[in-house]
Amino acid sequence: DTGVSQDPRHKITKRGQNVTFRCDPISEHNRLYWYRQTLGQGPEFLTYFQNEAQLEKSRLLSDRFSAERPKGSFSTLEIQRTEQGDSAMYLCASSLGSRVEAGELFFGEGSRLTVL
């Protein structure tokens, strides 16, 4: 399967613990996105990369969230000191974007986080 893959698919953790999610994009895609989605809402933008550069990060994102894409391939999203409000589906997407548009986003199946 050459689509976007995310790991783990489900994570249950206790409040205060750190969690890390991994995303492997479609190999030829230069852009990688992280979104968060809660029930009944649209995907909420968190951050995106073009190759290894993090080009934009949501102003709503606290400093407990950090994302990396060290070699311009896979990406990790870490949440430190998790809170119950962090419970959500974390979606990764990749695209072949240009200077003036995002391109078609291909989403992974998501990583569902439950914070107890």
Partner 1 sequence: GQQVMQIPQYQHVQEGEDFTTYCNSSTTLSNIQWYKQRPGGHPVFLIQLVKSGEVKKQKRLTFQFGEAKKNSSLHITATQTTDVGTYFCARAGGTSYGKLTFGQGTILTVHP
Among 23, 105, 113, 115, binds partner 1 (CB under 8 A): 105
Beta strands in the chain (DSSP E): 5-7, 10-13, 19-24, 31-37, 44-50, 53-57, 65-68, 75-79, 88-95, 106-107, 111-115
| Residue number, 80 or 87, with CB nearest to partner 1 | 87
User: Segment near partner 1 (CB under 8 A), from 11-19, 62-70, 78-86, 91-99?
Assistant: 91-99
Options 15, 18, 52, 56; binder of partner 1; rule CB under 8 A: 56
Residue 99 lies near partner 1 (rule: CB under 8 A): yes
Q: Mark 50-61 as b/e (b = at least 16 C-beta within 10 Å).
A: beeeeeeeeeeb
C-beta of 14 vs 59, nearer to partner 1 = 59
Dmax (CA) of the chain? 42
Interface ranges with partner 1 (CB under 8 A): 31, 33, 35, 40-45, 48, 50, 55-56, 91, 93, 97, 99-102, 104-110
